[in-house]
Structure 1
């Protein structure tokens, strides 16, 4: 059964409707991550994603973080990308590119389409970018790189982006720094942090997306 956005509460002997989506918005605007993570479970998935996207478009980095987290844990983006690519080894990179693009272009979300439709369009563009890069052997310029690679390059070169990385929660900051500044591979990072390779990849993707949201990397 799908969760309901509204639930019945008894107040002063009267049964009233409680709007969980409104509570989620308030938690996001207050920057209360613990409350937001708890409250989102009481909101219908489509409306939950809409709330996160709308609040992210209004400037809530927490909302962007939770939206990328939702996209990651639901497997929505991975399924979209996997249907379009035969090269399984490229899926992780394109998924990360998509997360970064979602975060960086969240300000363009106008709510005229479902979040899943909007994300699907972004994922398709990232797949096309990947296929174009595969078809050329010419040396890539910075503008040819996917969003994830550009973020990685920016993290190594720009003070403003380094500042954004320092603002990340430690859970994401450590793997992003080890990957994008130290240049370590996923397996080495996983061993150093005592996490699985899959967890490290996911945390780096989310961390990069949060950096993109903070610095406004376009999609």
Structure 2
């Protein structure tokens, strides 16, 4: 077995520990494992691919530099989510608010077109609900995190996450029904 295969067999915690101990390849393996998921969180949080790209870069640089701050009381992915979400929030605070969504080309095929329209409608509705609710919904409903993991990432109580998700879902349903009439939200 080669050295790189050894890295791919290690747990996230082992990789982070190896990075802190000076292994120059360990963090690269963590990045490779989690970059896509962190990108998805950033895009949903920022609602702007350029801001998301910057936030992911900022977040991974921060994680690389602060790896020794990982206490081990959560999963490495939860720790990374927290760092990426914070990087997104930092980027969003630096940008003047806008209600415009990035332009997306709609697909020609009818099914793809309908799917794209629904995604854009949901994205637009997400942009209209309070940030705290949007972040909770992004982590729980879109990223599949448990309530406990989302609470760790956002550094709030589990009950707060449940409440934000419930209020956010109700607000989304209302916005989507208002836009498309009854039956749009299942």
| TM, length-normalised to structure 2 | 0.47
Greater relative CO (CA pairs within 8 A, separation 6+): 1
Structure with a larger share of its residues in strand: 1
